[in-house]
Amino acid sequence: MHGIPGGIFGPVNPDFDAFQLSDSHRQLRAAVRELAEAQIEPYAADCDENARYPQEAHDALVASDFFAPHVPEEYGGAGADALAVCLVIEEVARVCVSSSLIPAVNKLGSMPLILGGSEELKHRYLTPMAEGKSGFCYGLSEREAGSDTAGMKCTATEQADGSWVLDGHKAWITNAGEMDYYTVLAVTEPEGRRGANITAFVVERGDEGFSFGAKERKLGIKGSPTRELLFDHCVIPGDRVVGARGEGLKLALRTLDHTRITIGAQAVGVAQGALDKAVGYVKAREQFGKHIAEFQGVQFMLADMAMHLEAARQLVYAAASKSERGDRDLSYFGAAAKCFASDMAMKVTTDAVQLMGGMGYTRDFPVERMMRDAKITQIYEGTNQIQRIVMARQILG
C-alpha cells in the first residue's frame, strides 16, 4: 500500500473554512478525481449492467489508501478528517455510486468501534481494515424494523462461558458477503426497556451459524451487493461486545449522526457527475441551427441545478466540520445534509436525463444510471422523512 505523497490528508483541522478548502483538501480532491476517472469510471457501466461488485474500484482504493481513510493513525490508518472522507466519497460517487459505498460503508460499519469499542477491539479490527485486508458492514435494520430500529427482533443470548448466541436476521445490508467484519445490533434483554435492551457485537464472516441471503434485485447501486445477514445459533466469543451492554442503540444512532454526512457527500458526487455530463451534451447538441446550450430554458435549468448542488455541497462540508468537532448540533446538521443533498441529487439527475432527451434515457449514457443510483440516497441511513423528524426534534428541543 502507498499513500499520496506530501501528506495528502494533512493534520486534522476542525476549524477549516467550509467555504474554501485547504490546500491539502484540494490536493486530495484532485488525487481522488484522477484515480476515479482512470481506474473506476471505465468499469462503472459494466458493474451496473451485470450487478457485480466493483473489484477494480476496491483494488484501486486499497492501493491508494482510500479504502478506509477514516481510520485513525494509531491503528495504522491515514487519519483523514471528516471532510477528507467526504471528498473521497464525493469524487468516487461522481463516476460510480456503487464504488463510493466501499469507503462509505467501511466508515459506517466501523464507527461504533471508534466511538465505543475497547482498545483491544480497535486494534484487532481497525488495523486490518486500514491495511485493506478486510472491510466492515453495518447490521442494524431488519425487514420489520427499518425506521423503527428499536423494534428489532434479532437476539443475542449470553452463555455460561461468557460467549453469545445470535439468532435472527438483518436486512438491506450493503456490501454483505464481500467484507469480513459485521457490526451487528441485537436484543440482549428481551424483557428490558425498549431501545435500552440492545447491544452491539462484531461478527466475523467465518463464524459458525452465520450466512447470507440472496442478493436483492435493486433499481440502482447494482454494483454494491445488498443481502440479509442470517444468524442460526451463531456463537461468538464474549470479547466481541462493542461498548456497554444495553447501550447498542445509542451507539448506533451516534454512528448515524456522523455517517449520514457521507451519504450527503455521495449525493453531491452523483449530482455533480450528472451535471457534468449534461453540460457537455448541451454544448455539443444542435437543434434549430444552434447549440441547445444557447436556449434560455436550458440555461435556466442548468443554473438551478448548479445552484442547488453548490448549496448542498456547502451544507455537507459544514456538517463534516461539526462531525470533526463533535458539536452538539451534529444530529441536526447530519440529518439536514443528508436530506437536502439527496433530494437535490434526485432532482439534478432527473433534470440531466431530461436535458439529454432520448439519449439520456438510454444506457448508452451514464445519466440514467446516475438517476437510478441517486434514488437510494433518499432512503438508506434513514429515509428523508426520518431525517425531517430528527431535525424537527432538534428545533423543538
User: Which residues does the annotation mark as catalytic?
Assistant: 381
Distance CA 178, CA 226 (A): 10
First to last CA, the chain: 47
DSSP reduced 3-state for 118: coil
297-323 burial, b for 16+ CB within 10 Å, e for fewer?
ebeebbeebeebbeebbebbbbbbbbb
DSSP structure class, residue 40: I
Residues contacting 300, CB < 8 A, separation 6+ = none
Please, are residues 93 and 100 in contact by the beta-carbon 8 Å criterion? yes
Q: How far apart are CA 202 and CA 109, in angstroms?
A: 10
Q: Which residues contact 352 (CB under 8 A, 6 or more apart)?
A: 274, 275, 277, 278, 305, 360, 367, 370, 371
Is 359:266 a contact under the CB 8 Å cutoff? no
Cα gap 170→140, rounded to integer Å:
7
Give the number of other Cβ atoms within 10 Å of residue 280's Cβ. Answer: 12
Using alpha carbons, list the distances in angstroms from residue 348 to 14, 86, 192, 304.
Answer: 30, 19, 46, 9
